[in-house]
Amino acid sequence: DTAVSQTPKYLVTQMGNDKSIKCEQNLGHDTMYWYKQDSKKFLKIMFSYNNKELIINETVPNRFSPKSPDKAHLNLHINSLELGDSAVYFCASSPYLRDPLDFGPGTRLTVL
């Protein structure tokens, strides 16, 4: 039983392309997040949604657009990909804000 799942696991693409990463949780949690982990393993929050509403938008370029069709899904769409977008993107969920997070397996994005 996968609690938080992400697809794809690996994504290799050219600069300038548009790509999406999907995330689903089957834990019944109200809150979902996107975190970016850079090459030095530093984790930084990008967005959080609570019950489909955007709660946190952490000064992320507007090329990144999250979408939450329902509280079990939080997708991340990235326009005009740049080299600096290469990272591992983790989706996470929690029962409510400030609760411990359950993380997905991550999506390794490589922009060439």
Partner 1 sequence: AQSVSQHNHHVILSEAASLELGCNYSYGGTVNLFWYVQYPGQHLQLLLKYFSGDPLVKGIKGFEAEFIKSKFSFNLRKPSVQWSDTAEYFCAVNANTDKLIFGTGTRLQVFP
Please provide the DSSP assignment of 4-54 as one string.
EEEE-SEEEE-TT--EEEEEEE-S--SEEEEEEE-TT--EEEEEEEETTEE
How many residues form the binding site for partner 1 (CB under 8 A)? 22
Only one of the segments 13-21, 61-69, 70-78, 93-101 lies at the binding site for partner 1 (rule: CB under 8 A); that segment is 93-101
* One of 43, 54, 57, 80 touching partner 1 (CB under 8 A): 43
Q: How far apart are CA 51 and CA 78, in angstroms?
A: 22
Residue 1 interacts with partner 1 (CB under 8 A)? Answer: no
Only one of the segments 10-18, 19-27, 53-61, 63-71 lies at the binding site for partner 1 (rule: CB under 8 A); that segment is 53-61
Closest CB to partner 1 among residues 4, 109: 4
* One of 58, 61, 82, 112 touching partner 1 (CB under 8 A): 58
Decide: helix, strand or coil at residue 78: strand
C-beta separation of 14 from 111 below 8 A = yes
